[in-house]
């Protein structure tokens, strides 16, 4: 039995909306029947869901405009799956790092994958550094971030849509990295500093959920239930204490990037909290039911 999020009816065979991720009875299963927030991605102010196959719903009458993730959009294939796309890019980049480092050379590795204070205008590193992690055989860095993105990313993507999730992930990742090296340059001029990793983006995802569902239970090691707000406070304290004790790069980790990413996620969550449905539970990979472990790996300082 499940409860319809629209009318509260108990349903033996509930439907999960692919656009907003909430559960509905047969009467409210269609997006236009429950005022689906996912329809905002279709730019459909009249609330008419255009599948793309109904000639009676034209682009002029529905007001639907072209969208990258909408029907016929260049990225429509990835609609609802950008979490997994980013995870795949992380591991592809991770393996490519090893190849470049071992077969091309260290300088090429630095120039391609590391966002550094020596070359902050290498704009491609603003993006590549998000997906790059400590190269093989080191696994802890990428595994820690992948766990957070896998378990929490899809849930946030279901709430805010693939387009906004993509902007949040990439935007936060870049801002976190740039903030880290900017502060390093200001506080330690002349000392080279670099950063790589998706921890800023991962902590932004955690921050969004902390605002939208602070009591959401996360099952650490699949056993210990902990509210997500407690996990957020834990990471904020760890990074803050590390900065106080050893600076913004304490422990070889970009502590400032952690806090910047978390702050952006919290601010964004606060900005949208009145416009989206709040998740009630966390499932494997962002679905429903008890969730798994969480904990972002350090955004390492090179």
Lowest-pLDDT range of 14-28, 29-43, 57-71, 72-86: 57-71
65 vs 20, 30, 58, 79, 120, CA distance in Å? 20, 21, 11, 16, 37
pLDDT at res. 74: 64
Of residues 214 and 288, more confidence is placed in: 214
Percent of the chain with pLDDT over 90: 52
Cα dist from 200 to 85, 111, 184, 218, 254, whole Å = 17, 21, 16, 20, 9
The burial of 225, by beta-carbon neighbours within 10 Å (0-12 exposed, 13-18 middle, 19 or more buried), is given as exposed
Q: Count CB atoms within 10 A of the CB of residue 140.
A: 12
Q: What length does the chain have?
A: 302
Cα→Cα distances 273→24, 156, 206, Å? 21, 12, 14
3-class state of residue 5 by DSSP: coil
Name the least confident of 142-146, 216-220, 259-263. Answer: 216-220
State pLDDT tens for residues 100-129: 999 999 999 999 999 999 999 999 999 999
pLDDT of residue 112: 97
The whole-angstrom separation of Cα 14 and Cα 279 is 16
Average pLDDT for 263-288: 73
pLDDT digits over 239-252, tens only? 999 999 988 888 88
Domains and CATH numbers, the chain: 80-286 (1.20.1540.10)
What is the distance between the alpha carbons of residues 269 and 211, in angstroms, rounded to a whole number? 5
pLDDT at position 59 over 50:
no
């Amino acid at each position: 039995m499940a409860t319809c999020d629209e009318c509260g009816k108990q349903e033996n065979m509930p439907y999960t909306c692919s656009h907003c991720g909430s559960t509905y009875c047969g009467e409210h299963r269609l997006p236009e029947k429950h005022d689906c927030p996912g329809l905002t991605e279709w730019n459909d102010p009249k609330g008419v869901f255009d599948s793309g196959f109904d000639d009676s719903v034209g682009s002029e009458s529905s007001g639907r405009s072209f969208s990258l993730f909408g029907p016929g959009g260049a990225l429509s294939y990835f609609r609802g799956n950008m979490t997994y796309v980013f995870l795949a890019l992380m591991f592809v980049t991770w393996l490519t790092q090893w190849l470049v480092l071992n077969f091309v050379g260290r300088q090429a590795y630095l120039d391609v994958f590391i966002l550094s204070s020596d070359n902050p205008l290498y704009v491609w590193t603003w993006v590549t550094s998000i997906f790059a992690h400590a190269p093989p055989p080191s696994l802890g860095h990428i595994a820690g971030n992948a766990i957070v993105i896998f378990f929490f990313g899809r849930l946030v993507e279901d709430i805010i849509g693939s387009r906004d999730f993509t902007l949040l992930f990439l935007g936060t990742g870049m801002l976190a990295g740039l903030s880290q090296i900017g502060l390093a340059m200001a506080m330690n001029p002349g000392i080279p500093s670099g950063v790589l990793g998706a921890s800023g983006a991962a902590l932004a995802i955690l921050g969004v959920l902390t605002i939208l569902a602070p009591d959401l239970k996360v099952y650490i090691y699949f056993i210990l239930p902990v509210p997500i707000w407690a996990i957020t406070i834990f990471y904020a304290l760890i990074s803050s204490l590390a900065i106080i004790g050893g600076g913004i790069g304490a422990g070889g980790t970009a502590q400032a990037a952690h806090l910047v990413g978390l702050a952006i996620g919290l601010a964004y969550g606060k900005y949208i909290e009145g416009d989206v449905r709040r998740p009630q539970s966390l499932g494997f990979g962002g679905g429903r039911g008890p969730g798994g472990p969480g904990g972002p790996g350090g955004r390492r300082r090179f």
